[in-house]
Amino acid sequence: MSTGNPFAEGTEDIARKRLIGRAFVAICFASTLVGIVALVALIADVLVESWGWVTWEFLTYPPSQVIENFLPGGRGAGIYPALVGSIFLIALTAVFTVFLGVGAAVYLEEYASENRLTSFIEANIANLAGVPSIVYGLLGLAIFVRSVQLGSSLIAGALTLTLLILPIVIVSTQEALRSVPDSQRQAAYGVGATQWQVIRDVVLPRALPGIMTGTILSLSRAIGETAPILMVGAATSLFVAPDGLTAPFSAMPMMIFEWASRPDPEFQHVAAAGIVVLLTILLLMNAVAILIRNRYDPRS
């Protein structure tokens, strides 16, 4: 009597469910692969299309309407003004965002009391992060370019990008500030420091790696943005790098857009070459951010 399997009942049902389960896992796994395959395809596509087009000349020459100029042995043509324009643009954006972003985060984390105004500001920041970037472009166009009459200038582009990434920088800086233990603040207050001294001498130095990581990652988003600077009026046919804050400017994503929209299929290779340069800079920025995080992460 004891040899029977008391678990025989319902085994068919379980076997059927296990089969469905296996199919389900297979589908889930395949779905995971979809994203990875798409990423690989995208990178491979860019690399293949750009193969042989990323040259020293490409980095150091202004663009040209004539495809032959981009080719080896041609007169030389490339992304130089846009590359320099992007670097200037990001440097300027960095200055504005660090000042505004850290200032706003310090206010919200260290000064603000928990009242309606504070929660309104925080909710507002969360909402701003969801506003499409092209809408920021309209804001920049109407305010900085027209009303303030900065024109389609480097500084108008930088201010627009600043407003765009400000919500992300504030949130990441708040997180960095929050990670500073309260005991550190208490210790500084205990020796008679003022609130500003505590923030300057204790909180900010401790939070600095986190602030830098978050800011660099936000800037790496800004450098790839096209729509806002397009609305502000970034140029596509500049042959010189910007030489002042109010000078007209070009930027890499804008150049890539211009090249990719050309009907001439050869220009697809030029666009791909521009993407390689853009992605390389993005990669470098991310690497620096991760390096800082790993180096100074208090958890490691």
> Closest Cα partner for 97 from 169, 145, 157?
169
Among 59, 66, 91, 131, binds other proteins (CB under 8 A): 131
Query: Which of positions 53-72 make contact with other proteins (CB under 8 A)?
Result: none
> Closest Cα partner for 234 from 132, 156, 136?
156
Which H helix or E strand runs over 84?
helix 80-106
- Smaller CB distance to other proteins: residue 84 or 164? 164
- Smaller CB distance to other proteins: residue 201 or 297? 201
Residue 231 interacting with other proteins (CB under 8 A): yes
Residue 194 interacting with other proteins (CB under 8 A): yes
Residue 256 interacting with other proteins (CB under 8 A): yes
- Smaller CB distance to other proteins: residue 39 or 66? 39
Question: What's the gap between Cα 160 and its chain centre?
Answer: 14
| Rg of the chain taking only CA atoms, in angstroms | 26
Residue 278 interacting with other proteins (CB under 8 A): yes
Among 101, 157, 209, 248, binds other proteins (CB under 8 A): 101
Question: What's the gap between Cα 174 and its chain centre?
Answer: 18
- Smaller CB distance to other proteins: residue 42 or 187? 42
Q: For the packed helices 252-260 and 80-106, what is the interaxial angle rounded to 10 degrees?
A: 130
Query: Which of positions 169-188 make contact with other proteins (CB under 8 A)?
Result: 170
Residue 2 interacting with other proteins (CB under 8 A): yes
**CA gap 293, 195 in Å, rounded:** 27
Query: Which of positions 68-97 make contact with other proteins (CB under 8 A)?
Result: none
DSSP 131: S
